[in-house]
Structure 1
């Protein structure tokens, strides 16, 4: 594979992207800094196909990333391959308002062919190529210039290894017939809605025990205000105010700005500075949360209670058995909140649709409805249809013991 020198000008970048546009796939990675900023600062882009690889310096004076971004977002003929690519996609979205498409994520794909839930890049490379990745440059300040040859070599390795792994992974997915399992997951990763910075929805990320519309309305107003402050200053939102402090103010709003000095998590200076004044104005303008915006409770079903919680434990055991049997990550099949909803009586769930229903949901539903049970045969846990069960009673495993 040909490795190019660090690309620092638009003409060289355009030539590279023109060649890569004729590929079936490209592997992509980014290096960025975001510890001290609201918006991640893109510091390096690495890209490769099966024949060549390069690192691109987005901080180089005068460079225009348009050829690269066009390849990422407007060329539907080239598959873009990432590993744990959520943050990489977010950066591209911030630059263009669009996401790479079509897209493939090797971390997600590993869940369909192994029990790996969130395999790290180094472990991925070791398992597929038998190579130990040099981790020495992981904590590099990628914004500093000049970059050393070792740093660039380390960064390009992320995409050259991936370019070797992806075709092998694809062949295994085709062989197992599980490629279609990943379609929805990849489309979800590429959905621009996941990366839009909608300040009006920021409150949904904050844990708020109250369901009072007045409290939630203040929470929504404060969260939107904090997003605006963080974006304007380009600092992490937690530097403005921590989630816990914001939720506390929404629940117990101060009557006057002077009361902000008593709020845990705020500097006493908020009692008379400009940011404190802006916070009070945000509170004063808060409206009760519209009932249509209330957190969805439809998926919760009836309260579980002790028996329902026991059913969830049995579903988790079934999930563990099934994921081991078919060598797939349990997280790809379903999640805890979905099993709780199933136990509570909800029936409109992803696990009861498509391939998930055939692989796991069908048996999970039968277990909830009392049509299946656990049994031990030859020292191994198995599922059996209750109507067909013909085993001695002393071979059965009581549900209470299984769950413990």
Structure 2
């Protein structure tokens, strides 16, 4: 594979993108910093089509990134391949308002082949290629310039190996007939709504015990205020106010700005500074959360109850057995909340009751819940039996 020198000028990047636009796929990875900022700072982007690979410096003065961003978001003929690509996709979305499409994530692909549910890149490379990665540059400060050869080699390695593994993985998925299983998963990963953040919905990421409309209304107002402050200052949310402090302020609102000096998590300066004044203004403007916005409003999955919880445990055992039998990560087949909903009697809109999930697991899960399937122990081993079989064996005995 041809490794190009670090790309820092617009002509070289445009020529590279013209060549990559003819490829079947490109493997993509990014290096970024976000410890001290609200927006992740893109420091390097690596790309390979399996024939050539390059690292691109988005911090280079005057570099026009448009050809690369157009390739990633507008070219539907080239598949974009990532590994655990959520943060990479978020960065591209922040830059363009669009997500790469079509895309494939090898971490999800590995789940369909029975590998770990959240397989790390190092383990992926070791498992498929037998290479042990040098992790020495993993925690480097990618924003510092100049980048040295070791840093660039480490970064490019992420896409050179990925471009080798991807065709091998696709071949194996095709051989097992599991490639189509992943279509919905990849479309979900590419959904732009996953990466859009709005001050109006910022409260949803804050944990709080109370479900009272007035408390949640204050939380929504405070979280929206913090989101705007963090964006405007380009600081992490927690550097403005931590989540637990927001929840405490929503549950026990201070009466005056002077009281902010006694709130755990805030300094005494909040009694009189401008940001404290803006916080109090947000609290003053808070309204009880409307019923239609309440987290418990609308169609709600019923809890499984005591007996249902036991059934849910049996379903989890069945899932573990079945995923082992067919060599697929159980998380790809079903999540716990779907199992609990099935145990509670829900049948609508459950992923396990349609498509390939129904064929490999959902059919038996439904039979177990409705009494047509049972666990049995034979010769010291746990197995599934149809209830009719159990009755016939009992009669024969």
Structure 2 residue 389 is the aligned partner of structure 1 residue 388: yes
* Secondary structure of 1:211's aligned partner: coil
Q: CA deviation at 1:308?
A: 2.0
| 2:110 aligned partner | 110
Post-superposition Cα deviations, 1:282-337, rounded to whole Å, max 9, x if no partner, equal 11111211211121566753333332221121111111101100000111011112
Answer whether contact 1:299 1:346 (CA < 8 A) is retained. no
Partner of 1:397: none
In the alignment, is the contact (CA less than 8 A) between 1:2 and 1:51 conserved in 2?
Answer: yes
Q: Secondary structure, in 3 states, of the residue corresponding to 2:277?
A: helix
Q: Deviations over 1:108-139 (max 9, x none)?
A: 11111114100000000000000001111000
- Residues in 1 aligned to 2:140 and 2:303: alpha-carbon distance in whole angstroms: 49
Change (3 A) 1:12 1:184: same
Partner in structure 2 of residue 54 of structure 1: 54
Structure 2 residue matching 1:32: 3-state secondary structure: strand
Separation in structure 1 between the aligned mates of residue 192 and residue 303 of structure 2, nearest angstrom? 34
Partner of 1:360 in structure 2? 361
Aligned to 1:399: none
Structure 1 residues 392 and 260: CA distance shift in structure 2, 3 A: farther
TM-superposed deviation, 1:208? 2.0
- Distance across 1 between alignment mates of 2:28 and 2:8: 17
Mapped partners of 1:390, 1:242: distance in 2 = 59
Contact 1:26 1:163 (C-alpha < 8 Å) held by counterparts: yes
Shift of 1:370: 2.2
* Counterpart in the other structure of 1:42: 42
CA distance in 1, matches of 2:19, 2:139: 32
- Assess if the C-alpha contact under 8 Å between 1:216 and 1:288 holds in 2: yes
1:261 to 2:261 alignment: yes
Shift of 1:392: 6.3
Please name the residue that 2:371 is paired with: 370
Give the 3-state SS of the residue equivalent to 1:323 in structure 2. Answer: helix
Specify the alignment match of 1:251 in structure 2.
Answer: 251
> How large is the Cα RMSD of the aligned pairs?
1.4
Q: Which residue of 2 aligns with 1:119?
A: 119
User: Normalising by the residue count of structure 1, what TM-score does the alignment of the two structures yield?
Assistant: 0.94
Structure 2: give runs of 5+ residues left out of the alignment.
none
- Contact 2:213 2:288 survives alignment (8 Å): yes
Structure 1 contact 25–49 (Cα < 8 Å) conserved: yes
Counterpart contact for 2:225–2:282, Cα < 8 Å = yes
| Range 247-256 or range 43-52, more displaced | 247-256
Q: Secondary structure at the match of 1:193?
A: helix
Superposed, 1:62-141 pairs within 5 Å as 62-141=62-141
| Cα separation, 1, equivalents of 2:108 and 2:188 | 11
Q: Is the counterpart of residue 176 in structure 1 residue 168 in structure 2?
A: no
2:281 and 2:324 map into 1 onto residues whose CA distance is 55
Tell me how far apart the structure 2 counterparts of residues 303 and 120 of structure 1 sit (CA, whole Å). Answer: 34
- Sort the Cα spacing of 1:298 and 1:326 in 2 relative to 1 into closer, same or farther, 3 A: farther
Residue 389 of structure 1 aligns to a residue whose secondary structure is helix
- What is the alpha-carbon distance in structure 2 between the residues aligned to residue 177 and residue 303 of structure 1? 36
TM-score of the aligned structures, taking structure 2 as reference length: 0.96
In the alignment, the residues of structure 2 paired with residue 61 and residue 243 of structure 1 have an alpha-carbon distance, to the nearest angstrom, of 37
Q: Aligned-pair distance for 1:241? A: 1.0
Work out the CA distance in 2 between the residues paired with 1:314 and 1:299. 26
Match of 1:398? none
* Structure 2 counterpart of 1:7: 7
Preserved CA contact (<8 Å) 2:125 2:131: yes
Conserved 8 A contact 2:303-2:341: no
Stretch of structure 1 that moved more, 346-355 or 95-104: 346-355
The alpha-carbon deviation at position 387 of structure 1 amounts to 2.5
Question: Is contact 1:301–1:345 with CA below 8 Å preserved after alignment?
Answer: no
Q: Give me the whole-angstrom Cα distance separating, in 2, the residues matched to 1:298 and 1:114.
A: 37
Of the structure 1 ranges 69-78 and 109-118, higher mean CA displacement relative to structure 2 is found in: 109-118
* Larger mean Cα displacement after TM superposition, 281-290 or 134-143: 281-290
